[in-house]
Amino acid sequence: MTPAPLKPTITFEQFSAVDIRVGTITAVEEVANSDKLMRLVVDFGDHTRRILAGIKKERANPREIEGRQALFVLNLPSRKMAGEISEGMLFDLGYADGVSPCLAMPEHAVPNGTRAG
């Protein structure tokens, strides 16, 4: 695989505006009106969010990620998809490059809500 071209340079301030945090995926549920979305229930320590992720066709068993910690982008605006509201974005690796997707996750357990960066 040839890596994708680099994106344009951003400032440190632009990067630091992105709120990336660790959360534990407590449930992975079907989304009734979608053939690709799954609903992730994610614990961020002080609150829980429902985040829709297009992982249904990416994984043989989307529920295999239940109980795992992963990185999420939290300060995107809520977005309605398939009749439901998503309150963030799963920060996973591989899909955009045609590589088998995997979670971006801490190397050892950290408190939910821990910030990246």
Number of domains in the chain: 1
Q: Does residue 92 form part of some domain?
A: yes
Q: Does residue 112 form part of some domain?
A: no
Q: Does residue 57 form part of some domain?
A: yes
Q: Which two tokens stand for residue 71?
A: 């990185």
Q: For residue 37, give the CATH number of its domain.
A: 2.40.50.140
Q: Could you list the pLDDT tens digit for every one of the 117 residues in the chain?
A: 788 999 999 999 999 999 999 999 999 999 998 999 999 999 999 999 999 999 998 888 999 999 999 999 999 999 999 999 999 999 999 888 888 889 999 999 999 999 998
Phi, psi of 80 (to 5 degrees): -90, 125
| Span 5-28, pLDDT tens digits | 999 999 999 999 999 999 999 999
Residue 28 near residue 38, CB atoms below 8 Å:
yes
Q: The pTM is what?
A: 0.93
The helices-and-strands tally (H runs, E runs) of the chain is 1, 9
Structural domain boundaries enclosing 42: 17-103
Sign of CA dihedral 22, 107, 24, 103: positive
Q: Does residue 110 form part of some domain?
A: no
Q: Does residue 93 form part of some domain?
A: yes
